[in-house]
């Protein structure tokens, strides 16, 4: 069993739909990151969470430390949101990231 699990693995949506991607982890962490990876390979950091909730534009990320669970929400999805979304957790002291396998999102017009 992976230390970081994401669901779903693949997700398709129509433009405008509300999207939720889930992440569960089984290790102790100092922080959880949501990352976006486009087909070219480059990764962009969307959020870093250690508690509660963060919002940036149409993106919302929440974390429940007790349940070891986080969600990434996209409101009013758009085709440009199509990418792989990766959940990663930081271990203590090193910032070493343990990655989930990612959720491939496709948003159709």
Partner 1 sequence: ETGVTQSPTHLIKTRGQQVTLRCSSQSGHNTVSWYQQALGQGPQFIFQYYREEENGRGNFPPRFSGLQFPNYSSELNVNALELDDSALYLCASSSLGGVFGELFFGEGSRLTVL
Which residue number, 17 or 97, has a Cβ lying nearer to partner 1?
97
Min. distance of Cβ 41 from partner 1 in angstroms?
4
| Closer to partner 1 by Cβ: residue 17 or 31 | 31
Q: How do strand 69-74 and strand 59-64 relate by DSSP bridges?
A: antiparallel
For the CB of residue 94, give the shortest distance to partner 1 in the complex, in Å. 4
Binding site for partner 1 (CB under 8 A): 4, 31, 33, 35, 40-45, 48, 50, 86, 88, 94-102
Instruction: Tell me whether the omega of the peptide bond preceding residue 54 falls within 30 degrees of 0, making it cis.
Output: no
Q: Write down the H helix ranges in 50-109.
A: none
- For residue 24, what are its two tokens? 């569960």
Q: 16 exposed, middle or buried (CB, 10 Å; 0-12, 13-18, 19+)?
A: exposed
Identity of the residue, 15 or 95, whose beta carbon is nearer to partner 1 in the bound complex:
95
91 DSSP assignment:
P
Write down the least CB distance from residue 17 to partner 1, Å. 25
State the minimum distance, in angstroms, from the CB of residue 47 to partner 1. 9
If the CB atoms of residues 66 and 93 are measured against partner 1, the closer one turns out to be 93
Count of other CB atoms within 10 angstroms of residue 84: 17
């Amino acid at each position: 069993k992976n230390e970081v699990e994401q669901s779903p693995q693949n997700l398709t949506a129509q433009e405008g739909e509300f999207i939720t991607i889930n992440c569960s982890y089984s290790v102790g962490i100092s922080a959880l990151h949501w990352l976006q990876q486009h087909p070219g390979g480059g990764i962009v950091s969307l959020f870093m969470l250690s508690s509660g909730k963060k919002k940036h534009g149409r993106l919302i990320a929440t974390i429940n430390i007790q349940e070891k669970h986080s969600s990434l929400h996209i409101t009013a999805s758009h085709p440009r949101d199509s990418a792989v979304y990766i959940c990663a957790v930081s271990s203590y002291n090193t910032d070493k990231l343990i990655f989930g396998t990612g959720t491939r999102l496709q948003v159709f017009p």
